[in-house]
Amino acid sequence: MRRNLRETGKLMLELGPLWLWRGERVLKLAQGSVSGEDDLATAVRQKRGAILLTPHLGAWEMAGLYYSSRYPLTILYRPSRLGLDELSRQGRSRLGGAVVATDASGVRALLAALRKGEVLGILPDQDPRWDRRWRWSICAIFGIAASTMSLVSRLALKTGVPVFLTWAERLPQGRGFRLHLRALPEVTAATSLEASVAAMNQGVEAAVRSLPAQYLWAYKRFKTRPSPESGNLYEKK
């Protein structure tokens, strides 16, 4: 718990530098090569497009900046209610990425980007209250039935694009970040929407279990419950 609190504090403190430092300085924080990136680069080169999932793990803002500097990336985001909307949009798009909101126009922009063979950046572990057009699915993660966005799976099954999971591990003593990239072929190859969503959640859970101290456990992932009878997991007893 204490380590997670420290990592969450680092997450808050690093937002300013990541959004405001010169791009060259920020990109130097990425240490070493990214294993598996050749598969992503090939998909982009062949104009097949790709979906890049960045859960609330490590420094996901760093991951977004890294990939947007290397690939045509369209990032889906939920507008901030904290008065930081313009700053966050500028910070996330300044190295070449396009930022679109979680609404109907944003979904259209995602489809247009995929048709051009580009890359989508999506946080797969958001509470999916906004996902009304595509509807959400009920799927277990960490052994808890959770409302889970179905947008990623619907796009993958509709277009056949490869899906990847990525996160930027925060290295100790301010030594920068190590980026990880994993292919999730089961998301696209699934024979049903439910199986595809389950594969996505399994990928997210495996990544979090590999680096639990750097997950944003403070985020209320289970706020939207499958049914009123499921109860409020965040209600104070």
> Against a cut of 0.85, is the pTM above it?
yes
pLDDT digit of tens for each residue in the chain (237 aa)?
Answer: 789 999 989 898 898 889 889 999 999 999 988 989 999 999 999 999 999 999 999 999 999 999 999 999 999 987 766 667 777 778 888 898 999 988 888 889 999 999 999 999 999 998 776 555 556 788 889 998 888 989 999 999 999 999 999 999 999 999 999 999 999 999 999 999 999 999 999 999 999 999 999 999 888 787 776 665 566 766 665
Note whether 165 and 184 are within 8 A (CB). Answer: yes
Question: What pLDDT shows up at residue 68?
Answer: 96
Question: What pLDDT shows up at residue 230?
Answer: 67
Kindly provide the b/e burial profile for residues 198-214, where b requires at least 16 CB atoms within 10 angstroms of the residue's own CB.
Answer: bbbbbbbbebbeeeeeb
Nearest to 50 by CA among 63, 41, 38: 41
Question: What pLDDT shows up at residue 131?
Answer: 54
Distance of CA 154 to the CA centre of its chain: 16
Q: Is 140 helix (H, G, I), strand (E, B) or coil?
A: strand
- What is the distance between the alpha carbons of residues 51 and 163, in angstroms, rounded to a whole number? 5
Note whether 135 and 152 are within 8 A (CB). Answer: no
Question: What pLDDT shows up at residue 91?
Answer: 80
